[in-house]
C-alpha cells in the first residue's frame, strides 16, 4: 500500500459525509503533484514575498527537513500518534497578508504583540498591535504617555515559536511556498479559516475544547495575537509548491548543512534572516 492509499484508508475509517468528501478530494489533488512556476533569485538578491505566499517552519534540524521534502506538508494526525492540538487534521501555514520584503517580514515578526486597554470600566476597549523588533521602548513610551491607556501587556509573536527569527535560535528552517498557481489556490481553499465552512464541517478539525470559541469568533475575529495571519490547510500541501528555504544563523553558518539543503532542493533558493539569497536558484548557483 502506497502513502496515498494509506491516507485515503484513514479518511474512510475516520470521517464521513462532507468532511470525507473534502479530504478525499484534497488527498487526490495533493498527489497530483502538479509542477508550478516559482520565483527565481540570484545570490545576493532580496527575497520579495507576494500576498498569499505561505511560510511553514519545522522543528529540529535536517532530520525533519528530510521528512518534509520526501513527503510534503502532511498533518501529523495522519502520520503519527494523534496529539491534543487545538487545530487537527490540517497543516498550519503563515499566510502573507500583503506584499513585503522577507527582511521586513522577519523584522516585524521577530518583535512581539502588545495589548492595551483604552479607558476604564464597561466602555473600555482593548486593542492589539504588532511591535517590530527593537521597537519596544518606542511603543511603550508612547503608550505610557497616553492618558487614555490604562494598562497593557505584551507577548512574543507566534512566529518566534515556529519559524527562524532574530530573537530565538529554536527554529532554524522554514519553507517558502509559492501559492500563485490555480493548482495551489485550489488546495489552499480548504483552509479551516475559510468562513465558507460551517460548524459541522469544521468539528473534525478542531479540538472539542476549542470549537465553540473558534466558531463564535466566526473566523473573522482575529487580531495580531490570535493571529490574523494564519491558515490551516486540510490534510496538507505537496512539496512541489516549495520555492525557497530560509534559515537561521546556525544553519547559515554551517556550510555542510547549506550544501545538504541545496543538494536536496536544487531548484530552490536559500536565504537568511536578512532576507538575502545566499544560494541562488536562477542558474543553479
Express each pLDDT in 118-133 by its tens digit: 887 777 788 888 899 9
Minimum mean pLDDT among 32-36, 68-72, 106-110, 122-126: which range? 122-126
**Cβ–Cβ < 8 Å for 73, 56:** yes
| d(C-alpha 23, C-alpha 20), whole Å | 5
Q: Is pLDDT of 283 > 70?
A: no
- pTM of whole model > 0.85? yes
- In whole angstroms, what is the distance from residue 281 CA to residue 99 CA? 21
Give the model confidence (pLDDT) of 2-33 as tens digits: 999 999 999 999 999 999 999 999 999 999 98
Whether the CB-CB separation of 251 and 62 falls below 8 Å is answered with no
Beta strands at 242-247 and 269-271: parallel, antiparallel or unpaired: parallel
Query: Is residue 285's pLDDT more than 60?
Result: no
Cell 503533484 found at: 33
Does residue 218 carry a pLDDT above 70? no
CA distances from 260 to 169, 263, 274 (A): 20, 5, 21
What number is the average pLDDT over the span 242-270? 96
**17-30 vs 3-14: helix axis angle to the nearest 10?**
170
Q: What would the mean pLDDT of 35-61 be, rounded to a whole number? A: 93
Which residues are 245's β-sheet partners?
A: 175, 270
3-class state of residue 257 by DSSP: helix
Stretch 145-159: mean pLDDT: 84
The whole-number pLDDT of residue 210 equals 77
The band of 97, judged by pLDDT with boundaries at 50, 70 and 90, is very high
Average pLDDT over residues 231-244: 97
- Give yes or no for a cis peptide into 227 (omega within 30° of 0): yes
Confidence of residue 58 (pLDDT cuts 50, 70, 90): very high
Any residues with CB less than 8 A from the CB of 63 and at least 6 apart, and which?
none
- Looking at every residue in the chain, the average pLDDT score rounds to 90
Amino acid at each position: 500500500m502506497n502513502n496515498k492509499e494509506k491516507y485515503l484508508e484513514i479518511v474512510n475509517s475516520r470521517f464521513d459525509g462532507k468532511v470525507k468528501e473534502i479530504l478525499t478530494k484534497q488527498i487526490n489533488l495533493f498527489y497530483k503533484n502538479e509542477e508550478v512556476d516559482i520565483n527565481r533569485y540570484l545570490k545576493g538578491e532580496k527575497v520579495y514575498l507576494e500576498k498569499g505566499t505561505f511560510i511553514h517552519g519545522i522543528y529540529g534540524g535536517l532530520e525533519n527537513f528530510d521528512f518534509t521534502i520526501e513527503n510534503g506538508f502532511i498533518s501529523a494526525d495522519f502520520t503519527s500518534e494523534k496529539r491534543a492540538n487545538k487545530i487537527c487534521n490540517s497543516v498550519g501555514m503563515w499566510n502573507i497578508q500583503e506584499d513585503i520584503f522577507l527582511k521586513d517580514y522577519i523584522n516585524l515578526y521577530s518583535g512581539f504583540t502588545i495589548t492595551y486597554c483604552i479607558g476604564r470600566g464597561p466602555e473600555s476597549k482593548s486593542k492589539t498591535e504588532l511591535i517590530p523588533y527593537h521597537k519596544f521602548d518606542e511603543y511603550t513610551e508612547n503608550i505610557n504617555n497616553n492618558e487614555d491607556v490604562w494598562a497593557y501587556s505584551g507577548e512574543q509573536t507566534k512566529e518566534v515559536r515556529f519559524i527562524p527569527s532574530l530573537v530565538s535560535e529554536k527554529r532554524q528552517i522554514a519553507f517558502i511556498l509559492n501559492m500563485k498557481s490555480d493548482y495551489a489556490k485550489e488546495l489552499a481553499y480548504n483552509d479551516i479559516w475559510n468562513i465558507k465552512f460551517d460548524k459541522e464541517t469544521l468539528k473534525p478539525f478542531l479540538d472539542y475544547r476549542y470549537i465553540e470559541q473558534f466558531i463564535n469568533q466566526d473566523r473573522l475575529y482575529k487580531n495580531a495575537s490570535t493571529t490574523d495571519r494564519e491558515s490551516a490547510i486540510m490534510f496538507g500541501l505537496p512539496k512541489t509548491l516549495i520555492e525557497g528555504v530560509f534559515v537561521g544563523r546556525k544553519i547559515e553558518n554551517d556550510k555542510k548543512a547549506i550544501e545538504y539543503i541545496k543538494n536536496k532542493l536544487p531548484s530552490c533558493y536559500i536565504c537568511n534572516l536578512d532576507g538575502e539569497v545566499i544560494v541562488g536558484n536562477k542558474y543553479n548557483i
